[in-house]
A = this chain, B = another copy of it.
């Protein structure tokens, strides 16, 4: 399978490294992948045979501008070149998330699918804004669209909903899907510190961003829930349909009150089908020890599905960091390689 990578940040680099390190293992599994394009913001690298991954990684270790790479560096290399050259089967789209427009990912994914090129992406923007439309384009062009990395990285939340519950209707989804807020809450629980101090710790460790609002105000969880609901319950909801609140108001008193009842606070995303339709919210909730997400602490994530015939399924774990996110991209690539039709 010939692939192109667009988006060369931490996850993109880790993905190239993973392909290089696991090359023999993948070949033994019957999975043969050739990387032909690596495209960043200024342009990229193109080798119509195959990019030497180790050589490119060595080059990138000391030079940020990949267009200077002597064995295939090209200024302004773009999605249009991939389309024109007609020499890849799959695009890995890893540009940053834009939750208003989905760009530039939206254009990349649309153009690829329109031309029968399958897409694996970790970019929440286009998937949250236009999954239904993108799926229809994929279907019409016999291409695949896999999005496992958008909803919890290494945690196989999409896989579990599609493959592990195949043939069953999902009646409710409940998740601890944001590692940053979960870490902050755990810091407050274990160290008795207040929210601001726990947030500063998370920021100093690189777990929370300088502007943490997407995480702590609940929007990251809301976006992931929206994707899960639209993909797994075949809905066509938007962010406006989710009642969102975050953890910014959490106090030591809240923590202690929950602990006194043997409970823990978690930022929970929930979507439940009921007679009026679908109720979706993101809310700080007290969770009892008998709840299957009670043990999801720190940077861990978890999701619980209730289905009609296969019953309840809770999945927890998933490594965090760029390598784990890259491994979740590779998982989707392999599952498509093994023939699975996600759309």
Binding site for B on A (CB under 8 A): 18, 22, 25-26, 31, 154-156, 159-160, 163-169, 289-290, 292, 294-295, 304, 309-320, 323-324, 326-328, 330-331, 333-335, 338-341
Q: A326 contacts which chain B residues (CB < 8 A)?
A: 309
B310 touches A327 (CB 8 A): yes
A200 to chain B, nearest CB (A): 27
- 27 residue pairs of the A-B complex, CB under 8 angstroms, read A156-B160, A156-B310, A159-B163, A160-B164, A163-B335, A164-B164, A164-B331, A166-B330, A166-B331, A166-B338, A167-B331, A168-B327, A289-B289, A289-B295, A309-B323, A309-B326, A310-B318, A310-B319, A310-B324, A311-B317, A311-B319, A311-B324, A312-B317, A313-B316, A314-B315, A339-B339, A340-B340
A167 touches B324 (CB 8 A): no
A146 to chain B, nearest CB (A): 11
Q: A26 contacts which chain B residues (CB < 8 A)?
A: 167
A167 touches B22 (CB 8 A): yes
CA distance A288 to B339 in the complex (A): 41
Question: Which of A25, A155, A156, A326 has the largest number of chain B CB atoms within 10 A?
Answer: A156
A292 contact from B316, B327, B334, Cβ within 8 A: B316
A326 to B, closest residue via Cβ: B309
Q: A164 contacts which chain B residues (CB < 8 A)?
A: 156, 159-160, 163-164, 315, 331
Q: A154 contacts which chain B residues (CB < 8 A)?
A: 309-311
Q: A167 contacts which chain B residues (CB < 8 A)?
A: 22, 26, 31, 327, 330-331, 333-334
Q: A22 contacts which chain B residues (CB < 8 A)?
A: 167
Q: A328 contacts which chain B residues (CB < 8 A)?
A: 310
CA distance A23 to B221 in the complex (A): 35
A325 to chain B, nearest CB (A): 10
Q: A159 contacts which chain B residues (CB < 8 A)?
A: 163-164
A262 to chain B, nearest CB (A): 11
Q: A323 contacts which chain B residues (CB < 8 A)?
A: 309
Q: A290 contacts which chain B residues (CB < 8 A)?
A: 295
A324 contact from B309, B338, B341, Cβ within 8 A: B309
A18 contact from B155, B165, B309, B335, Cβ within 8 A: B309
B309 touches A313 (CB 8 A): no
A228 to chain B, nearest CB (A): 15
A327 touches B314 (CB 8 A): no
Given A164-B331, A168-B327, A292-B316, 19 more A-B residue pairs with CB atoms under 8 Å apart are: A31-B167, A154-B309, A159-B164, A160-B315, A163-B164, A163-B331, A164-B315, A166-B330, A167-B330, A309-B323, A309-B324, A311-B317, A311-B320, A311-B324, A312-B318, A313-B318, A314-B315, A315-B315, A340-B340
